[in-house]
Amino acid sequence: MSTDPPRHAWLSGTGRRLLAVATLVLGLGVGGTIAFVGADARGPAGATEVTVLTRNLYLGGNISRPLNATRGINDPDAVLAAFAHANDALRTIVDQTDFPSRSKLLAAEIAGGAPDLVGLQEVALWRSGPLETDQMGVANAATVDYDYLALLLTDLNRLGHPYEAIQVRQESDVEGPAFQGTPGTASLKAPRDVRLTLRDVILRRSGSPVRVEGVGGGTYRARQDISLAGRRIAFLRGYGFADVHLGDQRLRFINTHLESQSSLTALDQAHELLAGPAAIAGRAVVIACDCNSDPLDHTRKAGDPTPHSATYDLITGQGRFTDQWLLLSASNPGHTAGFSEQVNDSDTRKVDHRVDMVFAKAADGSALTTADGRVTGLEHRSPEGLWASDHAGVQLRLRT
């Protein structure tokens, strides 16, 4: 991550709000550098300006861990034990990455920038229930352990910067056993089922001049399914959108999180996105996207024929969308990804690539104006030394 100082102080308007909220989190610890780019944050007043943020909340751990633990194992009892032990370890990491603490950082970040619309990805709902090894993969655990959306909205309210969830899109809903030791023996500890429900959410700032006309969403046909004890489980991804009015202008704001495990699947999902909600005519379109596609990475994953950059290239090429970050000064590369699973990195040096984007185009296909913008989430850590997420966010003020 570049540690060059910002080109502009960004101390008026939104900048003052950011600094005011920052005083509420002085005890959280500071690391990295603030990365603001652009001219005066407010610029000329106008109803055709909208500030948007794309923000991955980080579900709290590597969900590939339990499946990876079963590779090469054929005995059903051994598969169960390997999966459950790894799932227990994953769930422990989720506790350690402490979303209640990280949520306070995220709330301060959002309140400080005061975006009109926020696209959130990995808005996890973690639940638990009795161990049911005879119902592997059946998502029925009901005890709520962490509801990321409820926690974040509560923290925003406490800061006096309320937001409303105007579109909540449920995606994958998966459940599996977690325990230590061996079932049927005295070594068995902490037996339970662990359930993860993933959602992508659009927030609107209460009091924003942006008026909501309607919302919608869908699930991509292209997907990466998983297998658990012989049961095929769909791992779903999709998109949500809000159609809004900015004065006499109309805009569609789309929020999506594309596949991370397969660039080919992510590319197929991007084709669906462009042919579906992003193809609406007669209004500007803005896409908040954790695209899992680095425009500068042309390598391929093992067994994947598609370069990592292909999804980005499709959206900005055939899709005719502009990567609005690139319309800012080149002094900040806009890196957003690279923190460790534990999000307790000592600094931001591993945040070294971009996968979080804001794409846009006007109704006539031209680019929108990017008045200013910043990478968010690289300034503060919690008292325990945690970053707000394993990603940074991207906030841009756009003129339609």
**Cα(143)–Cα(60) distance, integer angstroms:** 18
- Does residue 233 lie within any of the structural domains? yes
Q: Could you write out the DSSP letters of every residue in 299-353?
A: ---TT--S-TTHHHHHHHTTT--EEGGGGS-TT-----B---TT---SSSTT--B
pLDDT at 87: 97
Q: Cα torsion at 314, 315, 321, 325 (round to 10°)?
A: -110
- Does residue 308 lie within any of the structural domains? yes
pLDDT at 267: 98
- Does residue 207 lie within any of the structural domains? yes
pLDDT digit string (tens) for 237-277?
Answer: 999 999 999 988 999 999 999 999 999 999 999 999 999 99
pLDDT at 15: 38
* pLDDT over 50 (residue 4): no
* pLDDT over 90 (residue 307): yes
pLDDT digit string (tens) for 225-235?
Answer: 888 777 888 89
Average pLDDT over residues 336-346: 98
Average pLDDT over residues 6-25: 34
pLDDT at 74: 87
pLDDT digit string (tens) for 78-128?
Answer: 999 999 999 999 999 999 999 999 999 999 999 999 999 999 999 999 999
Range of the domain at 161: 14-399
Q: 323 with 356: CB under 8 angstroms?
A: no
Q: Give residue for tokens 């949500």.
A: 240
Q: What does each C-alpha distance from 335 to 240, 351, 388 come to in angstroms?
A: 24, 6, 15
Residue 125, classed as helix, strand or coil, is strand
Higher pLDDT, 3 or 353: 353
Structure-block tokens of residue 44: 């000329």
* pLDDT over 70 (residue 33): no
Q: What is the CATH number of the domain that holds 76?
A: 3.60.10.10
DSSP 4: P
- Does residue 4 lie within any of the structural domains? no
Q: 119 with 166: CB under 8 angstroms?
A: no
Number of domains in the chain: 1
- Does residue 1 lie within any of the structural domains? no
- Does residue 169 lie within any of the structural domains? yes
Average pLDDT over residues 355-359: 98
Residue 219, classed as helix, strand or coil, is strand
This prediction has a pTM of 0.88
Average pLDDT over residues 145-167: 99
pLDDT digit string (tens) for 34-81?
Answer: 233 333 334 444 448 999 999 999 999 999 999 899 988 989 899 999
Position 366 confidence tier, pLDDT thresholds 50, 70, 90: very high
Position 199 confidence tier, pLDDT thresholds 50, 70, 90: very high
- Does residue 109 lie within any of the structural domains? yes
Q: 99 with 120: CB under 8 angstroms?
A: no
Average pLDDT of the chain, as a whole number:
89
- Does residue 253 lie within any of the structural domains? yes
Residue 125 CA, chain-centre distance (Å), reads 14
